[in-house]
């Protein structure tokens, strides 16, 4: 799973020798699982904000994943700054 991949190989990593901030692994897992469970509604929310000549599938996969996570957080986590 994506969560396991990140826990085993990506969290606590560094970039060019500079350590990354400590990750909140439980939060990450909650967001990933939440997006998967609610993907249809999340995608509709993201599509509603795209320009009329853009389709969700046209977006780069990384950008699409980030938008899905952000949309899910805004809908389901009231403590996320708006």
What CATH number should be reported for the domain holding residue 54?
A: 1.10.940.10
Domain holding 47, by residue range, is: 25-82
Q: How far apart are CA 20 and CA 47, in angstroms?
A: 32
What is the β-pairing status of strands 14-15 and 18-19?
antiparallel
Q: What is the pLDDT of residues 1-15, one digit of tens each?
A: 777 777 666 666 677
Long-range pairs, 11-15, Cβ under 8 A, ≥24: none
- pTM, 2 dp: 0.78
Number of domain units in the chain: 1
Q: Is 7 inside any structural domain?
A: no
Mean pLDDT estimate for the chain: 86
Helix (H, G, I), strand (E, B) or coil at 52: coil
């Amino acid at each position: 799973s994506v969560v396991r991949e990140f826990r085993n190989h990506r969290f606590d990593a560094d970039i060019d020798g500079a350590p990354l901030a400590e990750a909140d692994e439980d939060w990450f897992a909650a967001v990933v699982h939440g997006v998967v469970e609610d993907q249809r509604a999340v995608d509709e929310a993201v599509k509603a904000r795209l320009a009329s000549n853009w389709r969700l599938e046209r977006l780069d996969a990384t950008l699409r994943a980030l938008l899905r996570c952000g949309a899910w957080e805004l809908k389901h986590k009231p403590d996320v700054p708006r």
